[in-house]
Amino acid sequence: MKSSLTEGVAPDQLPVAHEHQNEKNDGKQDGRLSLFRLLLKDRFATVSALILVFVGLTALVGPALMGDLATKQNLLFANKAPFTLAHGWEYFLGSDSLGRSMLARLVVASRTTLSVALPAVAVALFVGSLWGVWAGYHRGWRENVSMRIADVIMSFPSLLLAVVVLYVFSPSAANIVLILALTRIPIYLRTARAESAELQSRTFVDAARTFGAKPNAIIVRHVIPVVLPTLLTLATLEFCYVMLAESSLSFLGIGIQPPDVSWGLMVSQGRQYLQTAWWLSIFPGVAIVVTTIAANVLAAWLRIATDPAQRWRLALPRKRLIARIPAKEAKP
């Protein structure tokens, strides 16, 4: 397999793909290590990664630390302004319309938000990619039918589809995940199909075929590893989209329902207090924006880092980079 992949590119070109092989070998170690080093070289990507790790950790352990602070109401203590320690650390970010700690609610909401966004992206990525790769590899009617199905899903405004489906089945977190995943499958399906259709005519796939490898084996061993970096980059971008879609659902009153709380729901519920208590919707809004920007930056970085033709750029000092761009022939 290695030999067929090395056509014009270095063996360590696909670090992400290597993670999906269960064999322990040096290539994996190298790939990971150098990817990590590359990350440290880019300040913005590093900060973004740190932010995402922080958000992830908050979602993981934060709610336990907050105890019942996020649900404890005090009607006489409603809408207290933020940025003062006068009421104790838990009210540093102010209190909401029912006197609950904004800080605690933001922390608890981070878990709900991520537990909707991450599974939705993962499900769509998994189903869409496999389907797309399969369709693109086989081409013919399989490809045609798949693309028409994608057309059908894409031609129905996803927000409305979500509203209708969530009216039929109640708006629980699981259903929101499923419907968001369903509407985003075509994105992966199309990309994976295009890449896989291109690959299936390439020499190394041909070679594998002549040696009698089964289609599914070729897809798993030769096509998926090549396509995966693109799809993972796409997934990182989609993570932003899904978070925004979840907040739009809250605006339409059909997203996460109280007493559960997500950032999208907080922005949506806080909007009526914009003039009297701005922090109710600004803080969760900022949380969404910061998280999505971090994911965006990381996706942009990942796109370059996993592209063997561009990756060298990250390793260079900045000044030389600009000077050398026109000289490089960037065709794999």
Contact positions with another protein (CB under 8 A) in 300-329: 300, 303, 310, 318, 321-322, 325-326, 328-329
Q: Give the residue carrying structure tokens 């992830």.
A: 56
Minimum Å gap between C-beta 111 and another protein is 18
Q: Give the residue carrying structure tokens 């290695």.
A: 2
CA atoms within 13 A on the CB side of 86: 8
Minimum Å gap between C-beta 212 and another protein is 27
**Stretch binding another protein (CB under 8 A), from 50-58, 87-95, 110-118, 290-298:** 290-298
The b-or-e profile of 180-205 (16+ CB within 10 A means b, else e) is bbbbbbbbbbbbbbebbbebbeeebb
Judged by CB under 8 A, the chain residues 79 through 118 that form the site for another protein are: 97-98
Q: Give the residue carrying structure tokens 């907040």.
A: 247
Measured from the CB atom, the residue of 21 and 73 that comes closer to another protein is 73
Near another protein by CB under 8 A: residue from 51, 122, 220, 293: 293
Phi, psi torsion values for 232, nearest 5 degrees: -65, -40
Judged by CB under 8 A, the chain residues 140 through 199 that form the site for another protein are: 143-144, 147-149, 151-152, 154-160, 163-165, 167-168, 187, 197
Judged by CB under 8 A, the chain residues 19 through 38 that form the site for another protein are: none
Minimum Å gap between C-beta 76 and another protein is 7
Minimum Å gap between C-beta 322 and another protein is 6
Structure tokens at 254: 């059909």
Phi, psi torsion values for 14, nearest 5 degrees: -120, 65
Contact string (CB under 8 A) for another protein, positions 244-283, x = contact: xx-xx--xxxx--xxx----x--xxx-xxxxxxx---x--
Pick from 25, 38, 33: nearest CA to 304: 38
Measured from the CB atom, the residue of 76 and 86 that comes closer to another protein is 76
Q: How far apart are CA 53 and CA 12, in angstroms?
A: 26
Contact in structure between 169 and 255 (CB atoms under 8 Å) = no
Q: How far apart are CA 39 and CA 45, in angstroms?
A: 6
Measured from the CB atom, the residue of 1 and 316 that comes closer to another protein is 316
Minimum Å gap between C-beta 137 and another protein is 13
Q: How far apart are CA 107 and CA 67, in angstroms?
A: 11
Minimum Å gap between C-beta 87 and another protein is 16
